[in-house]
Each structure stands twice: as C-alpha cells, then as structure tokens.
Amino acid sequence: MKEKMLGVLSPASRAKGGVRVPHHKNTQDCEAVRFVGVETVVLPMLQHIGAPCSPVVSVGDTVGIGQLIGDSDKYMSVPIFASVSGVVSAIGIVQTAPGKRVEAVTIKSDGEMRPYCEFSPPTVNSREDFLKAVRNSGLSGLGGAGFPTHVKLNVPPEKKIDTLIINAAECEPYITVDYRECIENSEHVISGTKLILKHLGIENAIIAVEDNKPKAIEVLSKLAEKGKNIKVMSLKSKYPQGAEKMIVCSATGRKVPPGKLPMDVGCIVINVASVSFIDRYIKTGKPLVSRTITVDGSAIRHPQNVRVPIGTKIKDIIDFCGGFTEPPFKMITGGPLMGTALLNTDAPILKTYSAVLAFTKGSYKVKPERDCIRCGRCAFVCPMHLVPTDIERYVLARDPEKLIKSNVGACMECGSCAFACPSGKALVQYIILGKDIVREAGLKNE
C-alpha cells in the first residue's frame, strides 16, 4: 500500500540468480564531509576504460582547480583536470591500486584551493552539444566501471532507446555514497535525468533503488511525481542487483543477450551519481575534480562518507578518518565482492573508486579451499546462468574452445559463485584466467 501511495513501480521481472549478502550500511546516516588539508594529489592519466590521456602541463607549471592537465584525441577517452591548485611537482610512472603502472601528474597543493578560472555553463542547444559537454566534463562512470559517459550516451541511430535506467541499487555491502547522493542531491538526480531524456530523445526513465533504502525511495518519488515520464522503482535487495544486465531485467523484463549491451534491448543504464554530476556540470561548467567515497571497515576508527579531491592519497584519507584502530589485515577499494585489494595506502583515489574499506584480522571468515562437492550452488546463484565449476575444469585443462562453449566471456565477475561456494573455491579467479586463456589463443570472448 505504501509503495502505491508513493507512486513506486514494482519490478517488471525478478532477475534470476544472485545472493543475499550482509548489508553493513554503517555510514548510511553519515552526510558526506569535505576532505580538508590535502597536500599532494597524484592524477593518473588513465582513470577510465579506453585510451590513456597525455599530460598537457609540465613540471613547474602553476595550475588551478579545474585546469586541463591531461587529454587524448581518442574517442574512448575523457580529459583529466587538476583537483587542487598548486605547482606540478612531477610527471612520471606510478602504480594504481589495481596494480597498473601508468603515467601520472603530481601536484603539490598551495593550500588555496583556487579555481583555474571562473567556470561558466556550457552552451547546450542540441544532442551534439550535450554529448560534447559530457565529454568535456571529464565524466566516466562513477559507479565503478569507468566507461566514458559520453560514449555510453552516444547511441548509434539504428538503436532505438525508449528507457533510461538510473542505477541507484548500490547492492555491495558497506558502500553508501549513492544512497547519500539520493538523499543530499535528489534535485540534481531528477534534473540530470530530465536533461538526458530531453537531449537524447528518450521517452521514459526509471530510477531503480533497492528496497533496503526506503528513505531514498520516498525522497526521489516525491520529486519524480512532477515529471510524468520519470518513475521510481523499488528493487528486491539482492546482490548483484546493480549489475547492468540484471537491473535491465528487473526494471523492464527485457533480457540482454550474451555479448550484447543494454542499448540492444532499448535501454541505457547510468549511475545515479553520474546523473547528478551531469546536472551540476551543465549548470556550472565545473568539471569532475572530486568525488564522494565511503571509508569503512572494522579497522577504520571513524567510518564516514568523505568528499575528496581526485588524486588524494588513500593514506591521507584514512588519517582524516582517525586512522586505523589496528594494522589492517585486508584493504579494498570498492566493495568487498567486486573491489580490488590494496597492497598499500600510497595509491591515489581515482574517479572510479566508490569506497576504501579496511578490515582487522578475524573480522570476516576465510573459507579454506576444499574439493568441489558438486552441490550446484555456484550455478544456481549465477545471474548469467553459467556453470563456474565447468569453467574451472576447462581452465585447468587450458582448453580455450571449451571455455568459449561454456560462455566464459559472459561472466560479469560479480563473485556470487564464490560467495555461495561451501568449498571456498576461487571461482572468479578461475574465470578471469579463462578469459585470458581465450584471449591468448587469439579467439574472441562473446
């Protein structure tokens, strides 16, 4: 009854697969606080899927916030901007949290946080103007994948898009930045949605939120009532509900075939924080220079949501949150199921990082790996209807042809199989190896 009163849509189809995970949304009531006192930022020239940027500044240059420091003439790329004011102190190779060695620009802050110029809204009178503005903003998906947003929105004319899905599911444990975006910047979310609908000529939008976030559903529903073509949908709380193919199925009942994208079934899926940022950029012209992250875990003294300049070192953010309660046993950027393990805290925050998590020893159970008992749980929970144990067997046999037949390329690496496995099998790692074996054989993962 409450959902009907609020005008909340019920899911068109319950996507198959997935697992129930502990939520641990400890920071859901923590309003984002702004990080202060940054001394140095390190800005890698590759913070997105696609071609890396090249530095357009030199050591010794004085820069301001929002000044272009890296760009590329490649389509699959987005520019990078200075996130603090100061002096370029170094340009060289650094290692990011995923272990990649990439070129980066280091800026020593002058403490003034001085804008490069007086920002002004971009001129947007057409679809082309809008896509150009999104590209010039420096936006790549803030949900974690890092796909250049202007590329995602530039759908080929032969693809008819009728539904825009705003992904506010945030199904990973601990992370609450998208929830806080819905609460703190709900008007930007609705306004940004309207901008995309208008300039891309899309008829309808669905803002999809998991049902464990009732306050976000209520706030967004009240604002969405003003626009008849924007609806809020309450999704069943289930991991990985926020995965593109899964959320398309839940929101519309349409199934994205293997090897295809949401646009192939008439949908575009975009993260809620990305939509909110697009609205702010179109109104102000200030590019992407900061983002909000959740800092949490049993080893963090004061868990909270923090708005940080992109490029801030992780160790400085942890110090801002009171430091460690004790030396961490495990550190992760992103969520515990799809995040990346951290070797140290010297790595900088990238556009794609939604969280930094640190855990003490004994705060979670590590399953010892044993022989497979053929229980079938991994296949039962797989959202893509794969059989992970078959893929493991073909990886050990190094058989690329059978790996292709097992549809290894369709795996989204969500980790549901490993989470459900009572034998503690490293199934995701086997699948990643399987994709590599197919690639090395010169074959194509579908």
Q: What is the mean pLDDT of residues 180-208?
A: 97
Pick the last residue of a domain from 243, 268, 284: 284
Within-domain flag for 90: no
pLDDT in tens, 163-183: 999 999 999 999 999 999 999
Same domain, 411 and 273: no
> Tokens 């909000």 correspond to what residue?
292
Same domain, 268 and 398: no
Contact between 110 and 89 under an 8 Å Cβ cutoff? The reply is no
Same domain, 265 and 407: no
Q: What is the mean pLDDT of residues 408-437?
A: 94
Dig out the tokens for 339 from the structure.
């995040």
Beta bridge partners of 294: 305, 355
- Report d(CA 269, CA 240) in Å as an integer: 15
Within-domain flag for 98: no
Same domain, 16 and 137: yes
Within-domain flag for 56: no
Within-domain flag for 105: no
Instruction: State the pLDDT confidence band at 4, using cuts at 50, 70 and 90.
Output: very low
Within-domain flag for 67: no
Q: Is the model's pLDDT at 329 over the cut of 50?
A: yes
Pick the last residue of a domain from 253, 284, 315: 284
Question: Distance of CA 305 to CAs 66, 217, 270, Å?
Answer: 23, 20, 22
> Tokens 């144990």 correspond to what residue?
389
Same domain, 266 and 393: no
pLDDT in tens, 22-41: 999 999 999 999 999 999 99
CA terminus-to-terminus distance, the chain: 43
In sequence order, the 6+-apart residues with CB closer than 8 A to the CB of 259 are: 409, 410, 446
Within-domain flag for 348: no
Whole-prediction pTM: 0.93
Helices (H), 229-302: 244-252, 272-284
Within-domain flag for 73: no
| β-bridge pairing 204-210 and 62-63 | unpaired
Within-domain flag for 193: yes
In sequence order, the 6+-apart residues with CB closer than 8 A to the CB of 378 are: 387, 388, 389, 416, 417, 418, 420, 421, 425, 427
Domain limits for position 280: 2-28+121-284
Same domain, 136 and 8: yes
> Tokens 């706030």 correspond to what residue?
219
Would you state the pLDDT for residue 259?
82
> Tokens 């794609």 correspond to what residue?
352
> Tokens 């890698």 correspond to what residue?
44
CATH number of the domain bearing residue 143: 3.40.50.11540
The percent of the chain in helix, strand and coil, each rounded to the nearest 5, is: 30, 20, 50
In sequence order, the 6+-apart residues with CB closer than 8 A to the CB of 281 are: 122, 133, 134, 137, 139, 287, 288
pLDDT in tens, 146-163: 899 999 999 999 999 999
Same domain, 16 and 164: yes
Pick the last residue of a domain from 284, 317, 342: 284
Number of structural domains found in the chain = 2
Contact between 410 and 384 under an 8 Å Cβ cutoff? The reply is yes
Taking the CA atoms of residue 107, residue 112, residue 116 and residue 121 in that order, the dihedral angle to the nearest 10 degrees is 120
DSSP symbols for 67-98: -EEEE-SSSS---EE-SS-EEEEEEEEEE-TT
Instruction: State the pLDDT confidence band at 363, using cuts at 50, 70 and 90.
Output: confident
